[in-house]
Amino acid sequence: MNARFALAGCALLAFGASVAAASPEEDRTAFVRTFQQRFPGIALDDYVHGGFMFSRASRSHYDDIMAFPPFLGDIERGKVLWDTPFRNGRTYAECLPDGGRNLAGTYPRFSAAENRVITFEMLLNRCRRDNGEAEYRYDDRATMGVLTAYARSLSDGMRMDIKVDGAAALAKYEEGRRLFFRRIGQMNFACSNCHLDNAGKVMRMETISPAVGQAVHFPVFRGGDELYTLHMRYTRCMMQVRAQPFPAGSEAFNNLEYFHSYLSNGLPLQASVYRR
């Protein structure tokens, strides 16, 4: 038996067939197949709606709020940060290919030169660094949070397109994958226990979203006004299971995001959405 499944019983059952040689593409299709068998009739593109995809009532609640999003001010503040030139006169749009359009869906990427995973948020910070500005903290809603809310919206509609090429990239992907399936914390949960095994079920009042589709719609605004980047959401789930969370921007989360984003390959990006 493959060691990475040793602690994830349910995942083992669901993924028994793919244990021997789980390439990223085999992982993704196994996740998708599992969900589509469990939730027949829900189009894959609807997975971007997470917990709202399961019922008409909750979906129309979501649509009502998205018709007049209470968080437009935050996105506007992000646009101001985006448009304001660095002190050397250059801008994010000049720093990034194609002005930063249709870019977020190709991140995280593996950098062979640095032997590490680079996220879209790291890319924004590199623009700052290379232009003589201080980097933003990855858990700061007022700077990186709103900046990424706007910057990612420039990729709305593009399809997620994550690549894992070569052994070194695969090693980072596998590291992220191991974290996803590892039981952690006092509550003894793996991410997979909730977002694979129990997607669609209700935890207290919240319907648990499937792992496929989670990475394409961040940041989210919980309750309509509280911004969470993807890493901040990871932190929150780890705190819920009473595990010592990794910080936003940590290498552990970058690798997790690499694996997690690959699962959403082919799905349309939609930045800044409402969540309960």
Partner 1 sequence: MFVAWVAVAATSSAAAADLPGRAIAHDQEKGNCLACHRMPADPGAETGATLGPPLADIKRRYPDRAALRAQIWDASVKNPATIMPPYGRHRILSEAEIDLVTEYIHGL
| Catalytic sites, residue numbers | 237
Closest CA to 149 of 214, 229, 226, 223: 229
- At residue 214, the 3 state secondary structure works out as helix
At 220, the amino acid letter reads V
| 2-31 residues near partner 1, rule: CB under 8 A | 9-10, 12-13
| 145-204 residues near partner 1, rule: CB under 8 A | 186-189, 193-194, 197-198, 201-204
Q: Is 57 in the site for partner 1 (CB under 8 A)?
A: no
- At residue 168, the 3 state secondary structure works out as helix
| 79-108 residues near partner 1, rule: CB under 8 A | none
For residue 142, CA distances in Å to 11, 31, 50, 102, 168 come to 38, 35, 25, 24, 35
**Nearest distance, CB of residue 133 and ligand HEC, angstroms:** 29
Strand partners, 227: 221
Instruction: Please identify, among the stretches 93-101, 119-127, 157-165, 191-199, the one whose residues bind ligand HEC according to the rule CB under 6 A.
Output: 191-199
> What residues have CB less than 8 Å from 200, skipping those under 6 apart?
38, 39, 54, 207, 208, 210
For ligand HEC, what does the binding mask look like between residues 2 and 31, x meaning CB under 6 A?
A: ------------------------------
209, HSE (Cβ side, Cα atoms, 13 Å): 23
Residue 220 binds which entry of ligand HEC, partner 1, none, with Cβ cut-offs from 5 to 8 Å by kind? ligand HEC
Report residue 122 CA to chain centroid gap: 14
**Nearest distance, CB of residue 38 and partner 1, angstroms:** 14
Separation CA 242–CA 236 (nearest Å)? 10
For ligand HEC, what does the binding mask look like between residues 212 and 241, x meaning CB under 6 A?
A: --x-----x------------xx--xx-xx
**Nearest distance, CB of residue 207 and partner 1, angstroms:** 9
Report, in angstroms and rounded to the nearest whole number, the Rg of the chain calculated over CA atoms. Answer: 18
For ligand HEC, what does the binding mask look like between residues 33 and 62, x meaning CB under 6 A?
A: -----------------xx-----------
- Please report, to the nearest 10 degrees, the dihedral formed by the alpha carbons of residues 142, 144, 149, 153 taken in order: 150
Q: What is the binding site for ligand HEC (CB under 6 A)?
A: 50-51, 189, 191, 193-195, 203, 206, 208-209, 214, 220, 233-234, 237-238, 240-241, 256, 275
Q: What is the binding site for partner 1 (CB under 8 A)?
A: 9-10, 12-13, 186-189, 193-194, 197-198, 201-205, 208
